Chains A and B, each alone.
Chain A
Amino acid sequence: EPEVTQTPSHQVTQMGQEVILRCVPISNHLYFYWYRQILGQKVEFLVSFYNNEISEKSEIFDDQFSVERPDGSNFTLKIRSTKLEDSAMYFCASSEEDSSRSAQHFGDGTRLSIL
């Protein structure tokens, strides 16, 4: 069964450094998402992306965050200057159609640890 893949599985970074989290969505999916989950808490929406532009972003997704689809298969999340509170699991998801018509499928996440 096709799946969303994310790399790396664990990223350790010094505070203030830039990180790029990578995702390969399911190949025929057109809608992409990033969510995060702070340890022991619920999954929170960060940003949605379609047709090479952001559809919506949450208040968490401030100017330090950006997303990009650099080629036909990858979808990346960049955090420009990391803060301690950015430590969390980051999940990429994709769907064939928008949220009212098709399910979102999640990758296994990247654990981001900011020191």
Chain B
Amino acid sequence: GENVEQHPSTLSVQEGDSAVIKCTYSDSASNYFPWYKQELGKGPQLIIDIRSNVGEKKDQRIAVTLNKTAKHFSLHITETQPEDSAVYFCAAPHYGGSQGNLIFGKGTKLSVKP
């Protein structure tokens, strides 16, 4: 089955700097990779996702890159702001059944210092 590894577990940056979080996956058949942001006391909120037919996707200050050959994908946040502070999870699908489910990484706690 799918296994997702995520690094680093904690990341501290100064406001305005960039942050990069990396994930690797094991199942070469995986074709969809979402990133979720989880704030304290809230559920995971989808912030960006990428499908395996593209290598990069951008949405304002957030970008995700995918390297299918190496089986890794990364989240890039530019011009970080204090409100970016949260736990970020990457995920990859597992298709044990007809509809699939998500296998999550262990999360990265991002702290943006003003």
Using CB atoms and an 8 Å cutoff, list the residues of chain A in contact with chain B: 4, 6, 31, 33, 35, 41-45, 48, 50, 55-56, 58, 91, 95, 98-101, 103-109
Contacts and interface: CB of A to CB of B under 8 A. Distances in A.
Contact of B99 (A35, A41, A99): A99
Interface of B: 31-32, 34, 36, 41-46, 49, 89, 93-107
Given A101-B32, A104-B34, 15 more contacts: A33-B102, A43-B44, A45-B101, A55-B98, A56-B96, A56-B100, A56-B101, A58-B101, A98-B99, A99-B93, A100-B100, A106-B43, A106-B45, A108-B41, A108-B43
Nearest to A103: B46
Nearest to A107: B43
Given A48-B99, A48-B100, A100-B100, A42 B43 contact: no
Contacts of B44: 43, 91, 106
A31 B98 CA distance: 11
